[in-house]
Amino acid sequence: MRPRVAVAGLLLATLTGCSGGGQEDAAAAPVGSTAAKASTRPGAAPRTAADFLARAERATAGEKGWTFAVRGREALLAQGQENAATYAATVHRTTRSPWALHSTGTTHREGTDSPEEIYVVDGTAYVKEGGTGTWRHGPLTDPEYANKVEDPVAVLDAFRTYTGDDTPGGGVSLVTSGGGVELRVRTAKAALPAVRERGVVRRAVRELAPTLKQLRANGVAAPDARITVESAEESLVLDPSTYRITSHTFRCVFLVPYGGGGIRYSQEVTERNQGAYAGGVALLDGVGRG
């Protein structure tokens, strides 16, 4: 996610900070790596997380592309003082090989709006920040660019990986109701070293990294061993009849030690499906050339 809070201003206003509180786990039936194997019976009703993911993958591939509305928020809180940034964007994502993505959005921070435009073509992300900014580009394997791209279709691959997590507390929880089907992965409050290898925590750490780098540059020692994961969660909601993606939400909260208390970092991003997209995505003239 691209909103970045202003670290220096918060630290200048706060000598020490403390906040943060984890969320209690909701009741749901856990699906481990064995139970998550997709059913091999033709026409069988989906029962496991892997079954529902397989249906969602087919439903997603059934259209040329999809449009998503993205909303995000990132914040730092120390001793009651908060510094926050929000983001809103529209994403067009194609599904045919090779897939491509185009996003246009705006970051709101400290009373100022800043536009941002992103393309992903052939595994390369092209980013322009600010109305008069220049284009930068780099591979999606670079965390700097991966953090800027919200790709709701790629979430299916991430959840496929999560179903194979057979560590204690790992795996995917499946919740079904008349209103939808929800796949959920969640990590309870823990010291970062104890859970950092879980997939959802790896993503959360990647999102935290730019802010943590700023904090350390401003004198916050914050060794990894003392950082607490208050919560890290992803939720994927599918339509109960078509199995199309309805929404995807990612949340994380970290408590970073500072002085006699701590700095609470939080992020939440939600992507909602706006329907099929029949257009294409291609780089415009001049994109990636400054």
Q: Is the residue at 181 inside a domain? A: yes
Domain annotation covers residue 62: yes
Number of folded domains that form the chain: 1
Structural domain includes residue 214: yes
Q: Give the per-residue SS3 of the chain.
A: CCCCCCHHHHHHHCCCCCCCCCCCCCCCEEECCCCCCCCCCCCCCCCCHHHHHHHHHHHHHCCCEEEEEEEEEEEEEECCEEEEEEEEEEEEEECCCCCEEEEEEEEEECCEEEEEEEEEECCEEEEEECCCCCEEEEECCCHHHHCCCCCCCCHHHHHHHHCCCCCCCCCEEEEEECCEEEEEEEECCEEHHHHCCCHHHHHHHHHHHHHHHHHHHCCCCCCHHHCEEEEEEEEEEECCCCCCEEEEEEEEEEEEEECCEEEEEEEEEEEEEEEECCCCCCCCCCCCCC
Q: Which domain holds residue 164?
A: 7-276
With respect to residue 242, please indicate whether it lies within any of the assigned structural domains.
Answer: yes
pLDDT digits (tens, 9 = 90+) for 261-281: 899 999 999 999 999 999 999
Q: What is the pTM of this model?
A: 0.84
pLDDT tier, 33 (very low <50, low <70, confident <90, very high otherwise) = very low
Q: Does residue 282 form part of some domain?
A: no
Residue 290 included in any domain: no
More confident residue, 169 or 99: 99
pLDDT exceeds cutoff 50 at 20: no
Q: Is residue 281 part of a domain?
A: no
CATH, residue 155: 2.50.20
Is 286 inside a domain boundary? no
Mean per-residue pLDDT for 118-125?
A: 95
pLDDT in the model for residue 42: 53
